[in-house]
Amino acid sequence: METRIERVVLETDRHRVVGDLTLPREGYRSRLSDYLNSGDMDFIPLVNAELTPLNGGSPETRTFIAVARTHVQLAFPFEAEA
């Protein structure tokens, strides 16, 4: 299966997480919304992630993080600021 990397933003009640998610290039689960709505996974694996506390703390970087799907309150593809 061919894959692609999509940079995504996930927010929980305490953190904003920006990281790279591996998705299929096309077909089943090729969109972020499809991936999040699949009921057979409990965690979202991200690489090259940056965690920023929503309370204003300092951001941290991680090479890998697994975010619990049930804790995600907001999710969208990352768009670099111009």
Q: List the domain boundaries for the chain.
A: 3-77
Under DSSP, is residue 29 helix (H, G, I), strand (E, B) or coil? coil
Give the pLDDT confidence score for residue 17 in this predicted structure: 98
pLDDT digits (tens, 9 = 90+) for 8-39: 999 999 999 999 999 988 877 788 888 888 87
pLDDT digits (tens, 9 = 90+) for 40-66: 889 999 999 999 999 999 999 999 999
Residue range 3-77, CATH number: 2.30.30.100
CB-neighbour burial class of residue 74 (10 A; exposed 0-12, middle 13-18, buried 19+):
exposed
C-alpha 58/C-alpha 56 separation (Å) is 7
C-alpha 82/C-alpha 1 separation (Å) is 33
Global confidence as pTM: 0.89
Q: Is the pLDDT of residue 82 over 60?
A: no
